[in-house]
Structure 1
Amino acid sequence: MTNQERNDYFYVCALIEYISRATRNHRGDVVRTIGKKGIEKLLYDAQVNHCLSFEQVSDEVIEYYKIKEGTFDTISDCHYDVPSYLDIGKLYSIMIEDCAKPGEEVQELINIFQSFISDAISNFNSDLYYQNPDYLEWSYREGELLD
């Protein structure tokens, strides 16, 4: 993966996190609604969209893909400092780079966001986000949180 591709995946992962928080949806539901072609388009447009605010791009994506308001609120009842959408986006982009076979990065993004690990990471009342990234990656690969 080139540096530009890393930046694009980081941007798109952070955008998905931002949209999910704004619409109170599971991250996997947002990815499912956008679809594979939509994710590919967001990656293609990432270099241009970097210049725009997350709010503007988020509003455009929500409107274009008709992402409805959900009930998965991970922020309101959080008792701790919530990691920023950029921090979470970085975590996802690292997992994609580490787990994806060359040429299969988009599908890996979809797989990760639709897996159990995404909802687990989104539980900001747990300490899972703060665990070693290798632990999160291997838990994802094994399909369950490791002991």
Structure 2
Amino acid sequence: MTEQERNDYFYVCALIEYIARETKNHRGDIVKAIGEEGIKKLLYDAEVNHCLSFEQVSDEVISYYQIKQGTFDTISDCKYSIPSYLDIGRLYSIMIEDCAEAGAEVQELINIFSSFISDKISDFKTDLYYQNPDYLEWSYREGKLLD
């Protein structure tokens, strides 16, 4: 993966996280609404969209893909500070790079965001996000949180 591709995946992952927080949806629901071709388009447009605010791009994506408000609110009841959407985007982009076979990065993005680990990472009432990234990656690979 080139440095530009890394940046594009980081941007798109952070955007998905941002949209999910704004619309109170599971991250997998956002990816499902956008679809594989939509993800590819977001990656293609990422270099240009970097110049725009997340709010603007998010509004456009929500409108274009008709993403409805959900009820998956993992932020409102948190007592402590939560990681930023950029922090979470970075984590997802690292997992994609580590787990994906060459040429299968888009599918890996969809798989990770649609897996159990995504909801676990999004539960900011726990400390899972702060665990070693290798632990999160291998838990994802094994399909369960490792002991």
Scaled to the shorter chain, the TM-score interval is over 0.9
Equivalence for 2:59: 59
Equivalence for 2:124: 124
Compute the TM-score of the two structures, normalised by the length of structure 2: 1.00
Question: Per-residue CA shift, 1:40-89, capped at 9, x if unaligned?
Answer: 00000000000000000000000000000000001100122110000000
- Identity of paired residues, percent? 82
Where structure 1 has 5 or more consecutive residues not aligned to the other structure, the ranges are none
Equivalence for 1:10: 10
Q: 2:33 & 2:80 partners in 1: Cα distance?
A: 30
Compute the TM-score of the two structures, normalised by the length of structure 1: 1.00
Where structure 2 has 5 or more consecutive residues not aligned to the other structure, the ranges are none
* 1:86 match: secondary structure: helix
Alignment length (residue pairs): 147
Q: 1:10 & 1:58 partners in 2: Cα distance?
A: 15
Q: CA deviation at 1:2?
A: 0.1
Q: Which runs of 4+ in 1 moved over 2 A?
A: none
Question: Per-residue CA shift, 1:109-138, capped at 9, x if unaligned?
Answer: 000000000000000000000000000000
Equivalence for 1:92: 92
RMSD: 0.3
Equivalence for 2:146: 146
